[in-house]
Structure 1
Amino acid sequence: MSLSFDNHAFKAAQSAVKTFFQKNTGPNSGVSTTAVVVTTLVGLFAYEQYVYLKKKQNLPGPKYKIPIIGALMDSMNPTFEGYLSKWKSGELSCVGVFDRFVVIASTCELSRKILNSPVYVVPTVVDSMRTILCADNWVFMEGKEHVEYRKGLNVLFTRKALGIYVPIQDRVYTKHFKEWLALDGKSEQYQWRFRELNMEASLRVFLGDFLSDEVCSTISQKYFDITAALELVNFPWPFPGTKVWKAMRARQYIVHHFIAGVQDSRKRLSAGGGVTCMMDAWIKSMNEDQVKGGKMFGDREIALTILTFLFASQDATSSALTWAFQLLADHPDVLARVREEQIAVRGDDVNGKLTIDVLESMTYTRQVVKEILRLRPPVLMIPYQTKKDWPINDNYTVPKGAMVIPTTYPALHDPVAYPEPESFNPDRWGPEGHAEKYPKNFMVFGNGPHHCLGKEYAFLHLIGIVAQASMQLDFVHHRTKDSDKISIFATIYPVDGCIMSFTPRA
């Protein structure tokens, strides 16, 4: 977050301090400089409290703000329990960090209202993201410009395009399953192995073989720096050694290699090559639409856009994968039904290659994935910033420049929509359940003009991994006292890192 104070307030305070010093300091004033400094600081801190309380009004939240830093430590070391406490404190709550005033919405109604109010708010992710992803990145566009840009990306997520990606993903699954089996049933933390599978699947779908194995591995390592910079509050200036600086360096490396891949793809397609990945499909589509006056994307635009796809998919899907394996291992009855469905939809070829037709026929497996995403939503909140004062309800007006945050977890654990919300029950999404009657609660992929373009891509990816793992692997979750506790590292994970072991399935 920025450390800059409200300009008007700061200039007024600065003028007052200057006047005070002129009148009360000097050899004949009789007032010590120390006394003046202390008095001035007390006055500034008092004014800071006044501004905070004026914005807070009647909202639940800290009664007073710690001078200058506010709730900095809580923001830098967030806990799920802390978030839960905020959500339970009221439909709106607040906190102050540095000069940033943060309003948190906990109800489904208010969260959807924020997501669908582009007149009042603009997505911010976190303040450092404009520095990391580049301020001219398409995700920060608004209005008609944003709508038109999204239209140019729809071709990447059609059913035809998704069908191209499935065999690429399946090859990655097979590769990583072999690596897991090579451990001969040894138990270890698999959270990071699931992340590696997901990263390689994303890179190969997005850029195919235009990236070497070495570059893919380096990107996977460097992307940790981007994830680490996703804290709600970060040191605002990218000085060497800071998290934001490291994230910028990671982005520069990734985009450099993405641009090289774009250029290689253009050359290969010009020479008559076929489509092998998302980038190929995108460039081929642009070449075909050129005569129709369609939007032409430059090399850097393509690279930055694919970076945002990686940004959107990597941490969230890695979280979902981790919980998927843990929950399936902990619920053998559910896993058994997944396996039954696999045999039913695959016919005689139970170990055959995946196709989009086969994936779309896995009705129960889709219910399982949907329940995983409901019970353990990877994205708990989506920060926005107000463009002007916003009377969000009859009782409160969010001030201009505040961060306003819609949340997903409370809506996804609403007992009205989802009876016994803490239980893992895929049948709630089936014909006998009634979860589908509450589509507004299922905000896993956001809502409004910035909803996730790759929703179906993410579903098919998770369904595919669950399907192939259920047929090719036997797996055990080694529970600990921390297995069900939630830690936060950009998204949510089991505190113990999900300790598992894998063996071949006959």
Structure 2
Amino acid sequence: MSAPTEQGMKEMTELVATYPQGFMTWLGPMVPLIHLCHPDVIRSVLSASAAVAPKDAIFYSLLKPWLGDGLLVSAGDKWNRHRHMLTPAFHFNILKPYVKIFNDSTNIMHAKWLHLASEGSTRLDMFENISLMTLDSLQKCVFSFDSNCQEKPSKYIAAILELSALVMKRNEQLLLHMDLLYRLTPDGIRFYKACRLVHDFTDAVIQERRCTLPSNGGDDVIKAKAKSKTLDFIDDENGKELSDEDIRAEADTFMFRGHDTTASGLSWILYNLAKHPEYQERCRQEVQELLKDRASTEIEWDDLAQLPFLTMCIKESLRLHPPVTMISRCCTQDISLPDGRVIPKGVICVINIFGTHHNPTVWRDPEVYDPFRFDPENIQDRSPLAFIPFSAGPRNCIGQAFAMSEMKVALALTLLRFRVLPDDTEPRRKPELILRAEGGLWLRVEPLSTGAQ
């Protein structure tokens, strides 16, 4: 749905500046895509029910061999049932114990950084390091599983990178949407090989988790976990297991969307703060002030609401570099827009998150990194749909509170222990399924003398 190049992103920004309400592109000669990039326009589509504006079957069907029929891809009654069942697992009371895990996983990452810095190597690919950290956290939080994935190279991470690139490449080649044909191509062979690797990884996590249930009392364990508000993914709200197929689909979806998007968000946040040392230092002072009278440097749940400037910096980075740059919906009936125009039934609407976040009629100087846009006094007159890094409406991101909590913990600890400096080479944005950087996002880290122990 978008050219995976920096030039493509620049052209998108120019189009939004020229047509701030939206514009049309084409997926092949016969499939028009209407890009919506203004809050007043996208509201009509995002606020529609999941039945009126379901996800675009053309694009999301390409994800099914990888992600199955999980929340990201499913529709209708199945989506409603699974969304209703999984939503309680992301309640604030259940998220609270995960903050300890976020601290622990970040500590492991920082120990590696300190070791590398002791050898004089401080130039790091943030995507590589942070992806492993967020994957580590996700497995521990959502599956009660510790794979020690930060301690060794990850074939799973490599497979995710390959799958993301191959899906976007396939989407732009309409003939290869036919599965029988795609399987015969070199890309198709690579895609299904990577799918097998990802599925084997997920199956191992699921089986490891399931083995702990019977040996520890089965239903009694689930009830105890429910009482203590630490349900994990494989325990549903009634203590009954999903089918093997459903478990795998939701697990694959959460493993990808739960770690990769957060890693993208954190990597670009560190990039933006490296480019703006004055904001980085203000965040650092905010964290130091919060922890000044404590023996421990651990970030606690109640601390997350006590970091207003750091939160503003996170949000401004998510505006400038949204991990997911666009989503698509297919209208199952006519949808009326505020100006009287109508989006006809059957049209594919691209909710252009990147375009909305860079729309000059919505954001003054949209290419400038300015955290004060998210000062409470500055957001009162702004549409809530001007900032949609987690989408919006009935199909918004179920894990957004999880992701924001993890980003706050990891960023606070990182700035407490390290100074983050820009690399000599400016990264080139590369939008695939998430917003990456070509060749990685390289930054330099410098341990602080008052850093973490």
CA distance in 2, matches of 1:175, 1:210: 13
> 3-state DSSP class of the match of 1:153?
helix
Give aligned-pair identity as a percent: 18
In 1, are the aligned partners of 2:145 and 2:205 still within 8 Å (CA)?
no
| Structure 1 position 98, deviation (Å) | 5.8
The equivalent position to 1:459 in structure 2, one of 404, 409, 420, is 404
* Secondary structure of the structure 1 residue equivalent to 2:116: coil
- Please give the TM-score of this superposition, normalised by the length of structure 1: 0.74
**Change over 3 Å in CA distance of 1:495–1:226 after alignment to 2:** closer
Q: Which residue of 2 aligns with 1:94?
A: 25
**Structure 2: stretches of 5+ with no match in the other structure:** none
Q: 1:488 to 1:142 in 2, by over 3 A?
A: closer
Return the alpha-carbon distance in structure 1 between the equivalents of residues 55 and 153 of structure 2.
29
Amino acid at match of 1:345: L
How do 1:61-100 and structure 2 match up within 5 A? 79-90=8-19, 91-97=22-28, 99-100=30-31
Structure 1 match to 2:126: 190
SS in 1 for 2:97: helix
* 1:141–1:189 CA distance, 2 compared to 1 (3 A): closer
Instruction: Out of 159-168 and 496-505, give the one that drifted further.
Output: 496-505
1:206 aligns with 2:142: yes
Corresponding letter in the other structure for 1:218: K
- Which residue of 88, 93, 103 maps to 1:170? 103
Aligned residues between the structures: 424
- 1:12-51 maps to which residues of 2 (within 5 A)? none
* Residue 139 (structure 2) pairs with residue 227 (structure 1): no
Task: Indicate the residue corresponding to 2:55 in structure 1.
Answer: 123
8 A Cα contact 2:334 2:344, kept in partner: yes
Residue 172 of structure 2 is aligned to residue 239 of structure 1: no
| 1:43-442 to 2 correspondences below 5 Å | 79-90=8-19, 91-97=22-28, 99-117=30-48, 118-124=50-56, 126-134=60-68, 136-143=69-76, 145-184=78-117, 185-186=120-121, 187-209=123-145, 211=147, 213=149, 217-231=154-168, 232-233=171-172, 235-236=176-177, 237=179, 238-239=182-183, 241=186, 242=188, 243-270=190-217, 280-282=231-233, 286=237, 289=238, 296-349=241-294, 351-387=296-332, 394-395=340-341, 397-398=343-344, 400=346, 402-415=347-360, 417-434=362-379, 437-442=382-387
Q: String of CA shifts for 1:77-108, please: whole Å, max 9, x gaps.
A: 68212333443453231314165332222222
Contact 2:136 2:148 in 1 (8 A): no
**Matches of 1:111 and 1:229, distance apart in 2:** 28
Identify which range, 496-505 or 164-173, moves more after superposition. Answer: 496-505
Q: Distance in 2 between matches of 1:138 and 1:438?
A: 27
Q: How many angstroms apart in 2 are the aligned matches of 1:425 and 1:159?
A: 29
Q: Distance in 2 between matches of 1:111 and 1:408?
A: 10
Residues 221 and 188 of structure 1: is their aligned pair in 2 closer, same or farther, counting only changes over 3 Å?
Answer: same
SS in 1 for 2:431: strand
Partner AA of 1:446 in structure 2: S
Residue identity matched to 1:466:
L
**Residue 37 (structure 1) aligns with:** none
Secondary structure (helix, strand or coil) at the match of 1:452 reads coil
Unaligned runs of 5+ in 1: 1-71
What is the deviation of 1:333?
Answer: 1.5
TM-score, normalised by the number of residues in structure 2: 0.82
* Deviation, structure 1 residue 284: 5.2
The more displaced of 118-127 and 310-319 is: 118-127
User: Does the CA-based 8 Å contact 1:96-1:102 persist in structure 2?
Assistant: yes
Partner of 2:24, secondary structure, is: strand
- Displacement after TM superposition at 1:228 (Å): 2.2
Pick which of 413-422 and 310-319 moved more.
413-422
CA distance 1:337–1:110, change in 2 (3 Å): same
RMSD in angstroms over aligned alpha carbons? 3.2
**Aligned partner of residue 209 in structure 1, secondary structure:** coil
For residues 24 and 448 of structure 2, the distance between their equivalents in structure 1, rounded to whole angstroms, comes to 50
Change (3 A) 1:88 1:343: closer
Cα deviation 1:28-65 (Å, max 9, x = unaligned): xxxxxxxxxxxxxxxxxxxxxxxxxxxxxxxxxxxxxx
Question: Residues of 2 paired with 1:106 and 1:322: CA distance?
Answer: 25
**Residue 467 (structure 1) shift:** 0.3
Structure with the greater alpha carbon radius of gyration: 1
Following TM superposition, where does structure 1 have runs of at least 4 consecutive aligned residues deviating by more than 6 angstroms? Answer: 276-279
More displaced stretch, 113-122 vs 170-179: 113-122
Letter in 2 for 1:502: V
